[in-house]
Amino acid sequence: MRLREELSTLREALSDLLFPPRCAFCDDDFKDVSRCSLCEECLGSLRPIESPICERCGMPVPGLTEPSAEYCGRCLSDPPAYTRARYGVQYEGALRDALLRFKFGGHLSVGQALSELLLETFEKHFASSDFDIIVPIPMYDRRLPSRGFNQAVILAEGVESGTGIPLDRFSFRKIKDTPPQVGLTRRERVANLKRSFGVSKPDRIRGRRILLIDDVSTTGSTIEEAARTLLKAGAARVEALVLALRVAGHQEIPQENPSHGVGPARPCPEARA
């Protein structure tokens, strides 16, 4: 056993010598002292969504006491359909660039790194025993061929692999091709998404505790409409996990843009969201 471990260590050292590790976000070479695939600069640029946050919607709310055991004013007056939502990091900097390369450039290796960040967010806020199935936010069927993949599905696959919660890719569908959300107010986003989702296999949804997954959110209107649809189909409970939150003042995701670069694989445990 000891010899096997020593040989494994030697192989890793030779691999690093011949193929120096590259940052999963910026693609630069860096000294990998902790088996981490994010360089120090990109790692330090991640800004987790932390307390004080609303216990229900998960949005940062300055003034709430810590730990976050209070609701924001919006959730007190008009609670969302989902029981709880949590967000990983702010949509900015290296994370934003990596997500754009993944989503619009088709660089799936970056998606693997992002899915592991999302898994770490899950472990921070949830437990596997809380859920029966994972449901990703779907894409409209006619948009899927041009993108080639649904980014929320790939993120959800990482959470499935790390938690053992089964992933349901097919029961929840986008049934209306809605205009882009960019630039819309929260009220306009809600109206834009109204009746845009549907459940094609209600038997797989009925009575289930569902973890809903998406890549980016601005106001929470997408997960709100999705949760409402799933609950109407008989879901027992819906909670949401989103990789990135666009905080007021930061640039939104552009529409389809395949011009972004690539970076390889996985973040390390220190890159906690």
Task: Give CA separation, 248 vs 110, 185, 259, in Å.
Answer: 25, 12, 26
Instruction: Tell me the per-residue pLDDT of 207-218, one tens digit each, with 9 for 90 and over.
Output: 999 999 999 998
Say if residues 214 and 115 touch (Cβ distance below 8 Å).
Answer: no
pLDDT digits (tens, 9 = 90+) for 112-153: 789 888 999 999 999 999 999 999 999 988 777 777 889 999
**Could you give all domains of the chain from N- to C-terminal order, each with its CATH number?**
48-245 (3.40.50)
Q: pTM for the complete prediction?
A: 0.79
Is 162's pLDDT higher than 90?
yes
Asked whether residue 77 carries a pLDDT value surpassing 50, the answer given is yes
Please, are residues 110 and 101 in contact by the beta-carbon 8 Å criterion? yes
Q: What percent of the chain has pLDDT over 70?
A: 71
Distance, CA of 81 to CA of 237 (rounded, Å): 9
Locus of tokens 């754009």: 100
At residue 197, the 3 state secondary structure works out as: strand
What's the confidence (pLDDT) of residue 36?
61
